[in-house]
Structure 1
């Protein structure tokens, strides 16, 4: 190791052992592995299907109306505060 330019071979060995133990400890404690999984194909939304089916279109309109009816009206905002700007 001295010939390769390593001044302190003990430090190199110690770092290698510490890093290996760290990786091994992490793998033992996580008990998990990361893998890639194919995502299931998503069903198209009603809006994306072009609404050819009148039954689906009517269902969508009924849903939209019921959602809009459930929304409570927004409360009125307080009037703006007025400050005396004479001293500025």
Structure 2
């Protein structure tokens, strides 16, 4: 994954809403509400290396793996198990 869609950086917007409620009966104010929102832009980057190899490459070149495990669908597998999965 290069982190780009249609030659533009992949950016995900996150809106944070801040709400402040102050109750101050001593000055005759029963409730004051302040609300504001800010935007935060996050750039996601898969890694500093480009990986264009297919599953077939990795299952046939176990010594080329740059790591000892891989996460697939939120589940972490060590290299040997992942290679067995790739062979099915």
Which TM-score bucket, shorter chain as reference?
under 0.3
The TM-score normalised by the length of structure 2 is: 0.21
The TM-score normalised by the length of structure 1 is: 0.21
The structure with the largest strand share of the pair is: 2
The structure with the largest helix share of the pair is: 1
> Highest Rg: 1 or 2?
1
